[in-house]
Structure formats: structure tokens, C-alpha cells
A and B are shown apart, each in its own frame.
Chain A
């Protein structure tokens, strides 16, 4: 029987996953709601750990990195709402053995867990086509968890600023005017109490690990 650990903060999803795995002959041996509670999972040393990326006190990527060192024999499957290729790339780069989107068919979820447990690397069908190269350095949007005070648009601008893009290029990329981009940059600087664009780049590197 495959033993499974779950790191997931959403109760209904966690309940559903537990029910499904029990019905399919697998056992959930440990559950954690957040990053700080994963000691329970480490102690249980399950065959597979299913990890959500958006956790209340951090990101699932931190859990992946930690479990890779503390549970080298366990297989890690990221199960998240993010269907973009860049997120999947980062999951795999952090050391996960699989990346699946939560709205995948239940049969696909079960199959993915079995495959990962058997030693395969699995990427969900809905993100496989959008997967970027691992360690891809092209522009990205920092996660909302890292910058909760910024809007999605501001995070898009922040990601491009952190990658060293100039305002006109950002404006072209996002279909905005130069002035609007300048306004976004100044409101980001004020929201993050940053001195200049370099400080923003440093902040993004610190928070997102790029």
C-alpha cells in the first residue's frame, strides 16, 4: 500500500484527496496545513508527499526543498491551482518529481501519485504544453503570496523590473503606456518601501529565490 503525506491548507480539498486515496487503496499517513507543520510529515516518512504551493505561511517550494534533504527517499508531487508553465518549471527545478493541477480528473490524480511512487516524473496534461525550460530566466510574475500588498498587474510589472526591463519595453510587453508603467513602478516602490529599481530586484530575489 502506498503511504501518502499531504501538505495542503484547504480543508475541502484535503478531505476529498483523503477520501479518494482511501478508496483507491492508498493511505494518508500525515497531514500538514502549512510549512511550519511539516515535521509531522517528515516523521511519518511516507512514500509520496502531495504538496500545495499556496500555503498560509510560505510557499510549497520551500516544503519541496526541505523535504528533498530531509526525506530523500520520498517522492514529491506538487498539486496546485496554478496551471502556468513557469510555476511547473519552478516546482521541478526545486526538486519535485511531479506537478499536477488541482482540477485534473480524479483518475489522473490517482495515476500521477502511483507513477511518482513508482519512480516516474509526472507533469499534468494541462501544463505540459506550457512547460518552460528548467531554470528559465525569462520574465515571470512573482507569486501573490510573496507580495500580498501588490495587485496582479503590479506584480507583472515588478517581475519585469526585477529582470532589468526598461519602462518602454515593459509598456510594449504589457500593452500599456510608458506613463502608466512609470505610475505602476512608483506605486510599487512606495508599497514595498524600496529606494529604486535595483532594490526591487534584490527584494524579488530574496522573496522568490530567483
Chain B
């Protein structure tokens, strides 16, 4: 028989027991409500059905196997007419239900048992609480014969099999945790306060009300703790114990975050959990839109990660026990999370290096493709024009074009030199911006170049300095070639996180032939650093190029 078929037939056993209890309860309760004594065989069958239900609920299997012997012994006692056998069997099999709940069970079985407990707690609370109070010396024994108690006790008999049936039908669906917590809290508080009242009534009769009132707060605190433990009693121990082995079994750093997040969620019975390093989420479990409460994971006094969990449904925050559990998980998971953090940092550094390499290649590509390529094509067109002029014996124009060609070749050669210079290892260059710019700008004139760097010992981050230098060089090259200027002033200032480059000249102003070169390259460089660039006419003549860069917001930093 297949496992599925076997499970199905076993569930049938559990259903049979539930139905048997329901039928026998119907018979017994009918007798009680009509004021007649139920036939002895009905009571016997009812007791046997109850024991069967407790023995096989919820899976249909007898677990542990010796529960069968216990059940048979108790059944024999009942058949021999010893009611105590039923009480002993009931208590023992109910305890086994709790054991089953604590030991290995599926989530559905666990939740079904909670439904059974949900029925048992108010029923037992009623029978034991009222019975205990009535049995106290001088207690109100008459309540046991009161019609209201009869109706309540019939209701108490029904609530257990009904809850058991609901548990079998719903499995892990339904809000059983919340119900268990509230019902257990309410019933336990009531029973505890009633007991306090009853005991006080017997011992110090005049003070029973005072004692009952005073007991409300401690009783409800104790009841709430019991209820929480019952509702979420899977407890942290099992997931905590399993964590080191599971961590050892991971095959990659990327598995650590999700594994720890799952452990947190299981250990706290929380609806959502998350593990993060800084802003990066290493793993999460459950709905991430819930408010999360965080505990740091420390290793060598360094925060390697943060564990976060949402409060359980109906609760507003994590309890102290929850925080202790998180701290325990943090201790176990810290080395693995530190490894995951390092692996992530290494991957990010690798990506940054790759991107930096790509950007350098792009820059070289732009230099060759957008500047040297069109320059050489343009020179080729001029050479073709010379050829055409010579063919038509226009030597005057051809001579002028040859001079123009020579100038263009010189320009291109200078550009090649600059590109080659940029490809040298940066280690040979001065680190400070002012001497670096002085070295790169040279003393070639006109125009006479004045350099102002503020502060004078300014050194920019490696990510931005090369681009600032290139923009200054491109701007000055434009001035030298096309502005026909006598003076050129270069200002580089750092204001907060903004680097500002201003290149002024007293030449013929923007918008003239030739001033466009390099502008798109300057715009591209500033855009990379969330900056801007502009070339405008200066009042009184000449032009002003302004370019800004934002340090610290370099896109991959």
C-alpha cells in the first residue's frame, strides 16, 4: 500500500473515533438533560470512545506503540467496572497528546492537536475548576447539582469532539494559535481566580473577595505565559539545535542568509523574518511588509549582520524570550554570516573592478571613436580636396589646404599624445590636484594659463580625480586651439561634496567654429558624477566653461 493510501486510511481511524465520541456524547447528554441516568453500557461505550479518540488523534496511528497496551489496560478496567481506570487512562492519553505535540509531528498534526486542546481546556477548566471549588471544605457543593452546571457540563462534553473534528478537517488552516492563546488565557485566569477565591473562602472567609481581586493580575500574567507557551510551544530548541548542522551543510555563502531567516521564523513562530547586512537583504522568509524588530549579530565586536523578525499575529512586539532566542541564533550564525558578508563584499568589489575596467575601455573607445576617428576622416577629406584642387591646377587653394592639413595633423598628434598619457599607470603622477594639473597643462602658450586650486592641497578621491583632470585638459585644449585668447584662468574648488571647475578665457567667445570639440565628452564625464556642464559667453568677451562633479555619490560607491 502506498504511503498516501496508508495515511488516508489512518485518518479514517481518527475520524471514526471522533464520530464514535460524538454519537456516544449525544446519548449521554440526552440522558443528562432529560434528568435520567444513561444506561451503563452507553456510559461504558462512551468512555471507550473517548480513550480511543485520545489514543489515535490526530494521525490515526498509535504513537508510541505502548499506548496500545495502556489503552487496552484501561479499557479492561472500564469493562470490569472501575471508573478510576477511565480517569487514569484519560489523563495518561491526554499527556501523550502533549508529548506527541512536542515531538516530531507535521504542522497539520500539530495544529489539529491544538484544536483538540482548544476544546479540552475549557472543558477541563469547567469540570476541574467547579469540581475543585465544590469539593473544598465548606465549599458550595450545591453547584454540582445546579441545572445551569448540568447544561454547562453537557456543553463541555460536546466541545472536545467538535473541536477535534474541526482540527481534523482544517489541519494547519484556520486561526487556531490565536484561539488557543485567548481561550487558554481566559480559562486559566478564571480557574486560578476561582481557586484563589475558593481557598480564601475556606481559610479566611471574610477576605475571599479581596484575595480574588488581588489574584487577578498574577493569575492573568501566569495564564498568558501558559497560553503563549501552549500556542507557540514548538519552541526555539529544535530549530536552534538544527542550525549548526544545516549551516555546515550549505554549499555556498548565498544559502546562509535564507537558512538563518527560516530558522528565526521557525524558532519564534513569527510570520516574517529577515537577515540583512547593511541595506542588503541576505535572506528573508514570510511577508516582508510587516514591521520587523531587529537584533544585531556581533562577531569580534563588529556588527556582521542584523536579524529581524515580525511579532506574532495579535502581538505588538517581540517578547524578551524572543529577543533571547534571536540572540542565541545570532551567536550560532555569526561566523557563517560573517563569511556570507565577506563573500558578498568580494563579489561587489569584483563587480566594481569590472565596471571600472569597462568604464576605462569606454573612455578609450570614446577617445578613439568620437575624437580621433572623425579627425582622421576629416583630414582624409581635406587631403581629397587638395588632390581635387591640384587636378584642376588650383595650386593657391591647394597650398592653403596643405597648411590646414598640417595644422590638423598636428592637432591630432597632440590628442594622441594626451590619450597615451592618460593610459600611463597613475602611480607616476602627483597625488595632489594642483601639481598634477600644472604638470599636465604644461607651459605652452598663448594663452597664459593661471591655475587656482582651492584648497591648495586639494586631493580628490581616485574615483573622481582623473575625470576632473580630463575635463580641465579638454577645456584648456579648446581655449588653446579655438578661442584665440591671451589669458586663460582655471579654477578648481571643493565646496562640501561638490567639485567645481571654471575655465575662463578672453578669446572670441563660444558659438564659433571649433568651440564645440570636447563638449560632449565633458558633459558625459560630469553626468557620470551627477554633475553639470555649460559653456557660456562672458560679459565683456571670451567664454566661461563651468563643470561640476559630486564626490561621494559616484554611482558605484
User: Contacts of A190 on B, CB cut-off 8 Å?
Assistant: 555
- Whether A33 pairs with B516 at a CB distance below 8 angstroms is yes
CA distance A14 to B381 in the complex (A): 9
- Whether A15 pairs with B370 at a CB distance below 8 angstroms is no
CA distance A13 to B511 in the complex (A): 17
Is B374 on the interface with A (CB-CB < 8 A)? yes
- Within B500-519, the residues touching A (CB, 8 Å) are 511, 513-517, 519
Task: Kindly name the residue among B365, B385, B482 whose own CB sees the greatest number of chain A CB atoms within 10 A.
Answer: B385
CA distance A184 to B504 in the complex (A): 39
Task: Kindly name the residue among B381, B382, B389 whose own CB sees the greatest number of chain A CB atoms within 10 A.
Answer: B381
User: Contacts of B412 on A, CB cut-off 8 Å?
Assistant: 12
Is A81 on the interface with B (CB-CB < 8 A)? yes
User: Contacts of A191 on B, CB cut-off 8 Å?
Assistant: 555
Is B347 on the interface with A (CB-CB < 8 A)? yes
Task: Kindly name the residue among B358, B366, B555 whose own CB sees the greatest number of chain A CB atoms within 10 A.
Answer: B555
CA distance A20 to B397 in the complex (A): 12
CA distance A149 to B373 in the complex (A): 22
- Whether B382 pairs with A151 at a CB distance below 8 angstroms is no
B510 closest partner in A (C-beta): A33
**Other-chain contact of B374, A19, A102, A144 (Cβ < 8 Å):** A102
Binary per-residue interface labels of chain A (85-109) against chain B in the complex, 1 for a CB within 8 Å, 0 otherwise: 0000000000000000011001101
Q: Inter-chain contact count A-B, CB under 8 Å?
A: 132
User: Contacts of A11 on B, CB cut-off 8 Å?
Assistant: 482, 513-514, 516-517
For chain B, give the interface size range.
35 or more
- Whether A17 pairs with B516 at a CB distance below 8 angstroms is no
CA distance A55 to B517 in the complex (A): 10
User: Contacts of A12 on B, CB cut-off 8 Å?
Assistant: 374-375, 378-379, 408, 411-412
- Whether B365 pairs with A81 at a CB distance below 8 angstroms is no
CA distance A4 to B421 in the complex (A): 39
User: Closest approach, in angstroms, between the C-beta of A116 and any C-beta of chain B?
Assistant: 17
Is A172 on the interface with B (CB-CB < 8 A)? no
User: Contacts of A179 on B, CB cut-off 8 Å?
Assistant: 347
**One of B137-145, B487-495, B520-528 at the interface:** B520-528
A contacts with B: majority SS: helix
Q: How many residues of A contact B (CB 8 A)?
A: 41
- Within A99-154, the residues touching B (CB, 8 Å) are 102-103, 106-107, 109, 144-145, 148-149, 151-154
- Within A162-181, the residues touching B (CB, 8 Å) are 179-180
**Other-chain contact of B362, A9, A33, A144 (Cβ < 8 Å):** A144
- Whether B384 pairs with A107 at a CB distance below 8 angstroms is yes
User: Contacts of B377 on A, CB cut-off 8 Å?
Assistant: 13, 16, 102-103
Is A73 on the interface with B (CB-CB < 8 A)? no
Task: Kindly name the residue among A16, A33, A81 whose own CB sees the greatest number of chain B CB atoms within 10 A.
Answer: A16
B352 closest partner in A (C-beta): A187
- Whether A103 pairs with B373 at a CB distance below 8 angstroms is yes
User: Contacts of B373 on A, CB cut-off 8 Å?
Assistant: 81, 102-103
- Within B374-394, the residues touching A (CB, 8 Å) are 374-386, 388-389, 392
**Other-chain contact of B351, A17, A33, A107, A180 (Cβ < 8 Å):** A180
User: Contacts of B354 on A, CB cut-off 8 Å?
Assistant: 180
- Whether A22 pairs with B366 at a CB distance below 8 angstroms is no
20 further interface pairs, Cβ-Cβ under 8 Å (given A12-B374, A17-B378, A187-B556): A10-B517, A12-B408, A16-B377, A19-B382, A22-B385, A24-B388, A33-B515, A33-B516, A34-B516, A81-B374, A103-B380, A106-B381, A106-B383, A106-B384, A107-B384, A144-B366, A145-B520, A148-B528, A152-B358, A187-B555
